[in-house]
Structure 1
């Protein structure tokens, strides 16, 4: 059975790489398109994910946030941005591979705020939650741009699957 760290690592890196893979399929126009001024662009989602990866990694590696470097500003060129994102994922892969169960319990203070106790484990889950949230936002754009087919989206609801697997006669009319 995989460990907690293996599960988090698989999900964190796998879903972040999906964001990067999808972003690389967008045209520059799609990368900067928004359907509303209050909605993020795909570029915003990539930058937000990448910069928080860098920030949270620093919190894990160096407990004293006053010793952290400022996070890089995002390159305007999409390929340069994607290269920075990928490099950060490689740093995370190395970081995750070196973590131990004891390290997961170490206390951190986000931005050195005394009332913000969180463990390295909590930092990992913060980053995982962030990536899953950004992936959900990104998936909407991915579908809207027709990159996962051009037919109208049909959600795979469970009841039709039950009926297909077990037969319609298995379920009485409701």
Structure 2
């Protein structure tokens, strides 16, 4: 193996270094003399390098703490948004749940809010889209139901087809009853 060839394995590398003439480039300074300092490739001392790495470590730790706080804040906002979404979904799914009813729910997990809403809806059922039957015989009950439908008290139903005929039939029947009583 010549000096200009590159070694092919570790054994050849060791032989090549032994064969190189000593020019003073590879010599290390004596470790036991107190006057020599450890120098790195760029000329800095070991203390300078240590201070540099400590400063970089402190900077990275501060950045990591800031990142952790930011992640925790974003996670809290995400949890709040999910809880709000679950509340809105519950209000949409169950019309009997109002804003006041949702203030009673102390849950924050979306699944727990959905379960709470389902239980609340079971306790307070409504007939969605089906009006309550109106009693025909009791005028006070009818008036109460009419006021419940329209709390302002302005209830003026439009006449339905055939109402005039029904009224005229009721009048005729009332006359016949009165005639039969007097006879």
TM-score (norm 2): 0.23
Higher-helix-fraction structure? 1
- Which is greater in Rg? 2
TM-score (norm 1): 0.24
Q: Of the two structures, which has the highest relative contact order with CA contacts closer than 8 Å and spacing of 6 or more? A: 1
